[in-house]
A = this chain, B = another copy of it.
Amino acid sequence: MELMAIGTVQSPLRSRAEAPKQGDEGAPEAWLAFEPRFADGLDGLAAGDEVLVLTWLDRAERDVLRVRPRSDAARPMTGVFATRSPDRPNPIGVHRVTVTALEGPCSLHVGALEAVDGTPIVDLKIALRR
Q: How distant is A77 from chain B, measured CB to nearest CB, in Å? A: 8
Chain A positions within 8 Å of B, measured between CB atoms, are: 1-6, 22, 38, 40-45, 49, 51-52, 54, 56, 58, 65-66, 77-84, 88-90, 92, 94, 120, 122-126, 128
Partner of A45, one of B6, B44, B82: B82
Q: Is the CB of B128 within 8 A of A84?
A: yes
Q: List the number of copies, as a whole number.
A: 2
**Which B residue's beta carbon lies closest to that of A91?**
B123
Interfacial chain B residues near A52, Cβ < 8 Å: 94
The answer on a CB contact under 8 Å between A44 and B3 is: no
- With contacts A41-B65, A92-B122 known, is A2 near B4, CB below 8 A? no
Q: Provide the residues of chain B in CB contact with A81, threshold 8 Å.
A: 38, 41-42, 45, 51, 123-126
Residues of B within 8 A of A6 (CB): 89-90
In Å, the complex CA distance between A49 and B65 comes to: 19
Contact A125 B84 (CB under 8 A): yes
Complex: A79 Cα to B66 Cα, angstroms? 38
Pick from B2, B54, B80, B125: contact of A83, CB under 8 Å: B125
- Whether B66 lies near A1 (C-beta < 8 A) is no
Q: How far is the CB of A33 from chain B (nearest CB, A)?
A: 14
